[in-house]
Amino acid sequence: MPNWEQRVALVTGGTRGIGLSVAEALARVGAIVALTGRDREQAVNTANVIQEASGGNVLGFDMDVTIRSSVEATVRTLLEQHGRIDILINNAGITRDNLLMRMKQEEWDTVISTNINGLYNCSQAVLRPMIRQRYGRIISMSSVVGLTGNSGQSNYATSKAAILGFTKALAREVASRQVTVNAVAPGYIRTDMTNSLPDAAREKLIESIPMGRIGLPEDVARTVLFLASEEASYVTGQIIQVNGGLYM
């Protein structure tokens, strides 16, 4: 088993949903976890709750992935405090849904800035430390929508599809330095959005999933935990789908 206590993980968008579940999973196995969100109080409070539950070392940072100086400041702090960053979970992402013919420039730009530019900012910021230590795991959150498309989500689908190409290209660049780069593409996962669906809409959604249920954040977190582990040392450039068979 890997010595998780020696690993430092940075989880963006770690205050709720899938990011929160990933942060909890990493903390439970003993990794040092830094989770980020735009709201400092929420990030710190979330980190404290996870730390109390897991008995681990969990830190909360206010960080805006679209602002390079914000990302660099967080990475610099982690390196000063712990000397290394081993795992990056690119989870921060947003939606601004609209039909393309009605989509405002702001709706397009905001999604692209967060979901793609944020991916670039965070990944580039951790690359030098990972290459220098000859160890790293970069895991980015795509979506089934990036594979299938979805009406009213041209901006979001574009951003999630871009993660697939980014993952494969970067994986080729850094594989020789023992840095792996992979992506996870969740299907429909139980979140605030799916919980707010009317019963009829939820039932119709479940009918489209061969496994007959909406996924849990923990389903995604377990896959991320594997990709972040020593056991996945020969897995890179891959897109792992976690969707209950919705798209095969």
In order of their start, the domains of the chain are: 4-188+216-242 (3.40.50.720)
pLDDT at 225: 98
pTM of the model: 0.95
Q: How far apart are CA 186 and CA 219, in angstroms?
A: 9
Catalytic residue among 135, 156, 188, 247: 156
Beta bridge partners of 57: 32
pLDDT at 1: 44
pLDDT at 73: 97
> How far out from the chain centre does Cα 57 lie?
20
pLDDT at 193: 64
Strand arrangement of the beta sheet that strand 8-11 belongs to = 57-62, 32-37, 8-11, 87-90, 136-141, 179-186, 239-242
pLDDT at 150: 92
Q: How far apart are CA 16 and CA 186, in angstroms?
A: 15
Using 70 as the pLDDT threshold, list the residues of the chain that sit under it.
Answer: 1-2, 193
Q: In the annotation, is 234 catalytic?
A: no
For residue 61, give the nearest of 30, 19, 113, 110 by alpha carbon.
19
